Amino acid sequence: MSISTSVIYVVLAIWAAKKLASLLLFNAKRSPYPPGPKPLPLLGNIFDIPPNKFAQTYADWGKKYDSPILHAEALGNHLLILNKREDAIELLEQRAKIYSDRPQMPIIKLMGWEYNVALLSYGDEWRQHRRICQQNFNPQASLKYESIQMTKTHQFLQALLKTPKDYDAHNNVLSIGLTMAMMYGYDIKSPHDPVIETAEAATILGGRLMAPGGSLINVFPLLRHVPLWFPGAISRNAAEEVKRLTNEVVRIPTEFVKKSLADGTAVSSLVTDFYEKKYAGGGSDEEEFIIKNVAYTVYGGECIIVISRRSKDEHMYPLKAASDTTISASGTFFHQMVLNPEIQKKAQAELDRVLGTKRLPTLADRKSLPYIEAIYREVLRFKPPIPISVPHSVTTDDTFKGYFIPEGTTVFPNIWAMTHDEDVYPEPFAFKPERFFDENGKLNNDDRVLAYGFGRRICVGKAIASSSLWLQIASVLACFTIDKAKDENGNEVEINNDYEESALLVRKCKFDCEFNVRSPDFERLILESS
């Protein structure tokens, strides 16, 4: 052995010894991970992580391991699950400085999704995007969308009157149409509009690539440099296709806006208002870039990844920030109204008392309709649309209540477990708007809707979501009674109580029901509304 080889061996041996010593010392010194299922060597908890029903399973883990703070590890990724509201507030809000990142994957950039606000890393770019969102979606600014919300809700009532059986399709058109109108002034009449279908195609293909095992690039990031022509560069080519589709999803409605401004047919919207300002010499190129990203995030798709051992076909987790969540919430509302006719009656008594039969509700009525407010809160408590929220990520090592939380840990606040905590919400599985009233019959102060998440990444569209959903609930109950459907012999059709899950999002499966207009007065009001 030459001297130089010996020197290398000695250096390597010292390095290895130092590394081992630091690891042992570190392991001996550091606090334990929070409780959770026992990991297997190398594989960790890959077989413990549930394929679906994440929220319920993690709530069960809480009972099994007798802890509201849980830990699992899979393929080198640490997961932290928080089943209690106060722990989520302590970490995601009081320690927001280090708990506001999102888990990252190399494929995101290749697909052109790196500027999706919900996926952006916590840093300056996210801050700039979030600022534009807040400027446009805060409670005061979102008042500018009120007339669009009213028009779209009235169109929904008219569609219900015409073909009540298709309520599900009408509900999709309402939510997607509302988003497209607010972002671009683009009027969609059907969920098969080309923009919507292109966005859907991009999210489905992108979702496949982001799924566990969906692309080797996520495991070996260096593969992102493989040229597109290289045999077997399947993920690279698929990512390129997602990028092309995503560019289309931004290009089509943006061109629509520019054309409508040139024609003089443009209506106010986030993107229209920006271009009006820009053409008048006001907006910068940087702002244009951010506005386009924000509009795309809100109506287009985003995909969030969850470590899972699902079968290949189920590996798609597309989620549209604004429309999927509101569709989920209104599905729960329709379902619970059919199951609880006495709640409908109580709500209608309140609506009749405050509005009479001469007009439809407006957002100005919100303060005068506490029972409708309580239904809104109960819908989002009963079935939070994203039950384990969108994951946060920790940017430095931390300790909490004596447990070690390593840098890079993915954190899931289990919203569903919090809104089904018996200590806070007795009989959590009963749909009871009354729980939001105090002993004097006044709305209580439990007005923090946990379904919107936590901390600096809390849903930035919550004011718009809240007013859109409230208006839909009030308008439907003012005009219709939702009843069980009947078959041709007049027998009640059994209700399908199932929900479907698309990883992070839960959504009520379609079920048959009848929307019966309450009186000729309301029929006339609907027909005359605009």
Please identify which residue in 36, 214, 318, 385 interacts with ligand HEM, judged by CB under 6 A: 385
Q: Which long-range contacts (CB under 8 A, 24 or more apart) does 492-500 make?
A: 495/335, 495/338, 495/339, 497/335, 499/383
Burial class (CB in 10 A: 0-12, 13-18, 19+), 522: middle
Q: Which residues pair with 480 in a beta bridge?
A: 517
Least gap, CB of 193 to ligand HEM (angstroms): 19
Coil vs helix vs strand at 401: coil
CA 417 to CA 346: how far, in whole Å?
Answer: 29
User: Which of 55, 82, 111, 118 lies at the binding interface for ligand HEM (CB under 6 A)?
Assistant: 118
User: Please, what is the minimum distance in Å from the beta carbon of residue 171 to ligand HEM?
Assistant: 13
Among 111, 374, 451, 471, binds ligand HEM (CB under 6 A): 451
- Element (H or E) spanning 303, and its range? strand 302-303
Which residue in the set 290, 390, 394, 503 belongs to the binding site for ligand HEM (CB under 6 A)?
Answer: 390
SS3 (DSSP) at 90: helix
Q: Which two tokens stand for residue 157?
A: 């009532």
**Closest-approach residue to ligand HEM (CB):** 461
Among 49, 173, 180, 459, binds ligand HEM (CB under 6 A): 459
Determine if 308 is a binding residue for ligand HEM (CB under 6 A): no
Q: Which lies closer to ligand HEM via its Cβ, residue 54 or residue 452? A: 452
Query: How many Å from the N-terminal Cα to the C-terminal Cα in the chain?
Result: 90
Q: Exposed/middle/buried for 241, CB within 10 Å: 0-12, 13-18, 19+? A: middle
Instruction: Candidates 151-159, 216-224, 253-261, 455-463: pick the segment binding ligand HEM (CB under 6 A).
Output: 455-463
Q: Is 130 in the site for ligand HEM (CB under 6 A)?
A: yes
The minimum distance between CB 530 and ligand HEM, in angstroms, equals 23
**How distant, in Å, are the alpha carbons of 59, 306, 321, 411, 414 from that of 83?**
7, 17, 23, 11, 5
Q: Which of 326, 340, 414, 467 binds ligand HEM (CB under 6 A)?
A: 326
CB of residue 463 to ligand HEM, shortest distance in Å: 9
DSSP 3-state of 403: strand
Amino acid at residue number 527: L
Residue with tokens 């003012």: 478
Which of residues 464, 476, 505, 517 is near ligand HEM by CB under 6 A?
464
- Closest to ligand HEM by CB, 107 vs 180, is 180
Q: Which of 57, 308, 325, 332 binds ligand HEM (CB under 6 A)?
A: 325
Query: At residue 277, what is the residue type?
Result: K
Q: Which stretch binds ligand HEM (CB under 6 A): 393-401, 417-425, 426-434, 462-470?
A: 462-470
Q: For residue 450, state whether it binds ligand HEM (rule: CB under 6 A).
A: no
In angstroms, what is the minimal distance from the CB of 187 to ligand HEM?
18
DSSP code string of 1-53: --HHHHHHHHHHHHHHHHHHHHHHHHHHHSPPPPS-SPPBTTTBTTTTS-SS-
Beta-bridged to residue 80, according to DSSP, are 71, 411
Q: Is 330 in the site for ligand HEM (CB under 6 A)?
A: no
Could you tell me how far CA 443 lies from the centroid of its own chain?
Answer: 27
Q: Rule CB under 6 A: is residue 465 a binding residue for ligand HEM?
A: yes
Nearest to 468 by CA among 309, 301, 329: 329
> Which of 111, 329, 417, 479 is in the footprint of ligand HEM by CB under 6 A?
329
Q: Applying CB under 6 A, which of residues 33, 113, 454, 511 lies at the interface with ligand HEM? A: 454
Q: Segment 259-298, which members bind ligand HEM (CB under 6 A)?
A: 297-298
Instruction: Provide the minimum distance between the beta carbon of 120 and ligand HEM in the complex, in angstroms, as a whole number.
Output: 7
When asked if residue 419 is in the footprint of ligand HEM (CB under 6 A), the reply is no
Rule CB under 6 A: is residue 463 a binding residue for ligand HEM? no
* Nearest-angstrom CA–CA distance, 39 and 73: 7
| DSSP bridge pairs for 293 | none
d(CA 235, CA 255): 30
Q: Using CB under 6 A as the criterion, which residues of the chain lie in contact with ligand HEM when the complex forms? A: 117-118, 130, 133, 137, 297-298, 321-322, 325-326, 329, 385-386, 389-390, 392, 451-454, 457-461, 464-465, 469
